[in-house]
Chain A
């Protein structure tokens, strides 16, 4: 009897009667039993040894009630969301649903506290390792929020993002107030920022809640926000319900803000700005996770939660920011050094995130897509490569990123024919636009390109040693990588400096012989600078070339002085000035045949005679087709003053004796092939000195016919701008001819050979001499295929053999 009464008291006291299926309506519980009565009851149960079932029973009832009543009720409430269109109603609904939930669960929570207390007092046995409280909370989460509907998630999301917006708005407003003393400019800026950030926010709308200012419900929203957080905290559901939403909001906000503030803006650093902004965000988070906003009761658990969040937000920011900059790295490199702040930011972020790999692959992709295709000029590629060297060196002093990411550029440049020429032109300051390389060259303390064996040991401070990043090429020493500068990197594209020296020599020769407008001082300076880098021996040829120029000038003066001593009538009819070359030291000159008119040849012979007198046992070999002639063409009604090439001069000189020539006749006297002669004629046609009528016959126009429409003569790609030097390709061809005799001998003896065999045999016999000519297998294949086309070789079944007639 006593037991039954005690159980009744306990059961009605601990759980709401409705949960037990009793008739009494939930609302009208008449005076629930006092805590004291309950304690008496439990003591009775204890006497009968039945107290052990109490907790289990309590959990059982809670579970049933949750499943049968509370959960459906709650979700029904939420389901009404579909009928609500307006946001304020919707958040009100959400709050109501949670209030209801709280009021349903409050009795249980109260009882739970009581049971805990009893357990502590020893009246109950406790529920094993997992505390009762924990079990109850787990049950809430498990039954109520095991699966949440999409609508619910949307509601939560909307609710939190609204409160976030309002919070940030309020914060900004208070800051604006604080800044009011400052200049109007910054105020305006902030105002415009605020407007930009709210795309729909006109002047009449509250930026916080997007409603008309008169209907602003910001304070209500913040109030609801506070209440909901309190409820969730009480039910220990905060993390379960809002963590996703909060994370989403933060991520979206960071993304949006970054997109709006940072994209395409490389000239200032954003790290500090975002750091401040993140602090603001943390302020909002503390509203969510800490009791009553500002830390009134700093509860250690909440503080650690907050710390975790701060860490998360920062990390997320770094990652996102780094990703964005990585994506834009191509443009950042292009804008370097203006974009240095962006590079520094990226460097800072990369140290904190693990995105090197992403950077490498993304940059490689961008380079290949935007730079390395046939539509881009070689000089532009080189310019970008130089910027990349500068920017990536800033980003990663170990130069590993540079080495890995720019490998495609280097590989690509190797396939372009004019790369060397462009780099050399850049070095000597000839290329328009970038003076970068020329500046780099004149820098003090250059890195010599003599590749001495350096070791890693010579780092001055052993403590400062840093291991190379994992993606470094282990084959290369880090000190070499670190010490390489722009020029050495560019020169090493081809792996040898000889190629560069040769190209430089060709360019120099070109300037000296073809253009006649060089400045001796600048050339000497360039050669001196290059000597510092490439070494004395390599630049020796160029020095001799420059010395030849100086010597020629001296000889010319000498000879002219002598001429001056002669009586008037014996003087030569025009002044002949020669550039006298030391042929061994100049690049091979293009050979062209040209027969000059008698008077010129005589003058040259006279000059040679005088030279022979000056320099015993030496004579001159004239290159008739090279040079520059200044002349006046006097016609009946006009005089033209021109500077032309010797061929052009020779042509027009012939027209002095005879005013009409056919192309064939001219070709005969000049010993120039008809095709190239026709090209040369265009200059005179264009100048209006000659006319072609009928085709193939040229006549002097003594008097200009004013009425005749001016004849436009198209110059079909004249070699006017061409180099006086034999091209690299021609030189290579000549070298390959050397191999051809060997290959013929091989095939005569061994009948047939595969490509690989030929290559390896050439390596053994030919490429070992003092004059090492390298040939790689592709080049050899190309060469052999050409021979096959010329029917000098037969290719079948993977082997080459000589045709029968050759044997």
Chain B
């Protein structure tokens, strides 16, 4: 007997490769989106800091903009630098 697969329709869910489930700022799931967005994924990406913490990009930008003098990671208080 031989079985030939012509087409396999599979189902998968995508997820961010992150070390946490939720964004430390908005507390929403990373796999969801930040409170200002409607659509997750490409439209509401994550960014990583050099301290290895990550957030929704929109959330961390909002946070950084509100910081007057120095820009810190809201989680570990180290200076915030985007991971390249």
Interface residues of A (CB under 8 A from B): 513, 516, 540, 543-544, 547, 551, 573-586, 600, 603-604, 607-608, 611, 615, 617-624, 626-636, 646, 649, 652-653, 655-656, 659, 689, 700, 702
- Tell me whether A633 and B38 are in contact (CB under 8 A): no
- Tell me whether A611 and B14 are in contact (CB under 8 A): yes
- Chain B interface helix/strand/loop/mixed: strand
Q: Interface code B36-49, partner A: CB below 8 Å = 1, 0 otherwise?
A: 00111110001010
> Given A581-B11, A600-B8, A618-B41, list of 5 further CB < 8 A pairs?
A582-B32, A583-B15, A618-B16, A630-B9, A702-B1
Say yes or no: A619-B17 contact (C-beta < 8 A), given A581-B11, A585-B32: yes
Please name the 7 residue pairs, one residue from A and one from B, whose CB atoms are nearest each other, closest first. Answer: A584-B32, A626-B11, A583-B13, A574-B5, A620-B12, A581-B13, A628-B9
- Tell me whether A573 and B13 are in contact (CB under 8 A): no
- Tell me whether B3 and A584 are in contact (CB under 8 A): no
Determine which of B7, B12, B15, B42 lies in contact with A574 in the assembled complex, contact meaning CB atoms within 8 Å: B7
Residue of B nearest to A690 (CB): B1
- Tell me whether B5 and A629 are in contact (CB under 8 A): yes
9 A-B pairs within 8 Å (CB atoms) are namely A574-B4, A581-B13, A584-B32, A584-B40, A627-B8, A627-B10, A633-B3, A656-B3, A702-B1
- Tell me whether A618 and B6 are in contact (CB under 8 A): no
Residue of A nearest to B45 (CB): A617
Q: Which residues in chain B, 37-71, are within 8 Å of chain A measured between CB atoms?
A: 38-42, 46, 48
B24–chain A nearest beta-carbon distance, Å: 17
Say yes or no: A574-B17 contact (C-beta < 8 A), given A544-B39, A617-B46, A702-B1: no
Name the A residues within 8 Å of B7 (CB-CB): 574-577, 629-630
- Tell me whether B5 and A622 are in contact (CB under 8 A): no
**With A and B bound together, what is the CA distance between A621 and B11 in angstroms?**
9
Determine which of A617, A626, A634 lies in contact with B17 in the assembled complex, contact meaning CB atoms within 8 Å: A617
Determine which of A547, A626, A632, A653 lies in contact with B6 in the assembled complex, contact meaning CB atoms within 8 Å: A632
**With A and B bound together, what is the CA distance between A607 and B9 in angstroms?**
12
Determine which of B3, B6, B12 lies in contact with A580 in the assembled complex, contact meaning CB atoms within 8 Å: B12
- Tell me whether B5 and A634 are in contact (CB under 8 A): no
B65–chain A nearest beta-carbon distance, Å: 23
- Tell me whether A630 and B6 are in contact (CB under 8 A): yes
Residue of B nearest to A628 (CB): B9
Say yes or no: A585-B40 contact (C-beta < 8 A), given A619-B17, A623-B12: yes
- Tell me whether B4 and A634 are in contact (CB under 8 A): yes
- Tell me whether A634 and B14 are in contact (CB under 8 A): no
B79–chain A nearest beta-carbon distance, Å: 22
**With A and B bound together, what is the CA distance between A579 and B14 in angstroms?**
10
- Tell me whether B15 and A659 are in contact (CB under 8 A): no
- Tell me whether B9 and A573 are in contact (CB under 8 A): no
**With A and B bound together, what is the CA distance between A351 and B72 in angstroms?**
77
Determine which of A584, A600, A615 lies in contact with B29 in the assembled complex, contact meaning CB atoms within 8 Å: A584
Determine which of B1, B11, B29, B31 lies in contact with A513 in the assembled complex, contact meaning CB atoms within 8 Å: B11
Name the A residues within 8 Å of B9 (CB-CB): 516, 577-579, 627-630
Determine which of B3, B42, B48 lies in contact with A652 in the assembled complex, contact meaning CB atoms within 8 Å: B3
- Tell me whether B3 and A631 are in contact (CB under 8 A): yes
B32–chain A nearest beta-carbon distance, Å: 4
B40–chain A nearest beta-carbon distance, Å: 5
Name the B residues within 8 Å of A617 (CB-CB): 16-18, 46, 48
A126–chain B nearest beta-carbon distance, Å: 101
**With A and B bound together, what is the CA distance between A629 and B11 in angstroms?**
11
**With A and B bound together, what is the CA distance between A401 and B9 in angstroms?**
53
- Tell me whether B46 and A631 are in contact (CB under 8 A): no
- Tell me whether B10 and A621 are in contact (CB under 8 A): no
B73–chain A nearest beta-carbon distance, Å: 18
A50–chain B nearest beta-carbon distance, Å: 115
A203–chain B nearest beta-carbon distance, Å: 77
A786–chain B nearest beta-carbon distance, Å: 30
Question: Is the C-beta of B2 less than 8 angstroms from some C-beta in chain A?
Answer: yes
Determine which of B5, B11, B29, B38 lies in contact with A544 in the assembled complex, contact meaning CB atoms within 8 Å: B38
Name the B residues within 8 Å of A659 (CB-CB): 1
- Tell me whether A573 and B5 are in contact (CB under 8 A): yes
**With A and B bound together, what is the CA distance between A576 and B9 in angstroms?**
6
**With A and B bound together, what is the CA distance between A639 and B12 in angstroms?**
30
- Tell me whether A700 and B11 are in contact (CB under 8 A): no
Determine which of B1, B12, B41 lies in contact with A634 in the assembled complex, contact meaning CB atoms within 8 Å: B1
**With A and B bound together, what is the CA distance between A309 and B4 in angstroms?**
91
A527–chain B nearest beta-carbon distance, Å: 13
- Tell me whether A603 and B8 are in contact (CB under 8 A): yes
Name the B residues within 8 Å of A580 (CB-CB): 12-14
- Tell me whether B40 and A544 are in contact (CB under 8 A): yes
- Tell me whether B10 and A634 are in contact (CB under 8 A): no
Determine which of A578, A604, A618, A636 lies in contact with B15 in the assembled complex, contact meaning CB atoms within 8 Å: A618
**With A and B bound together, what is the CA distance between A521 and B42 in angstroms?**
23
- Tell me whether A655 and B13 are in contact (CB under 8 A): no
**With A and B bound together, what is the CA distance between A574 and B38 in angstroms?**
36
- Tell me whether A700 and B1 are in contact (CB under 8 A): yes
- Tell me whether A619 and B40 are in contact (CB under 8 A): no
Name the A residues within 8 Å of B39 (CB-CB): 544, 547
Say yes or no: A632-B4 contact (C-beta < 8 A), given A576-B10, A585-B40, A618-B15: yes
Say yes or no: A622-B11 contact (C-beta < 8 A), given A573-B5, A574-B5, A652-B3: yes
Residue of A nearest to B40 (CB): A582
- Tell me whether A621 and B15 are in contact (CB under 8 A): yes
- Tell me whether A579 and B16 are in contact (CB under 8 A): no
A577–chain B nearest beta-carbon distance, Å: 5
**With A and B bound together, what is the CA distance between A365 and B42 in angstroms?**
58
B58–chain A nearest beta-carbon distance, Å: 16
Name the A residues within 8 Å of B15 (CB-CB): 583, 618-621
Name the A residues within 8 Å of B13 (CB-CB): 580-583, 586, 620-621, 623
Residue of B nearest to A636 (CB): B1
Name the B residues within 8 Å of A634 (CB-CB): 1-4
B27–chain A nearest beta-carbon distance, Å: 10
**With A and B bound together, what is the CA distance between A633 and B14 in angstroms?**
32
**With A and B bound together, what is the CA distance between A573 and B46 in angstroms?**
35
Residue of B nearest to A625 (CB): B11
- Tell me whether A632 and B3 are in contact (CB under 8 A): yes
A575–chain B nearest beta-carbon distance, Å: 5
Name the A residues within 8 Å of B18 (CB-CB): 617
Name the A residues within 8 Å of B41 (CB-CB): 551, 582, 615, 618
**With A and B bound together, what is the CA distance between A633 and B4 in angstroms?**
6
Say yes or no: A633-B8 contact (C-beta < 8 A), given A580-B14, A584-B40: no
- Tell me whether A576 and B8 are in contact (CB under 8 A): yes
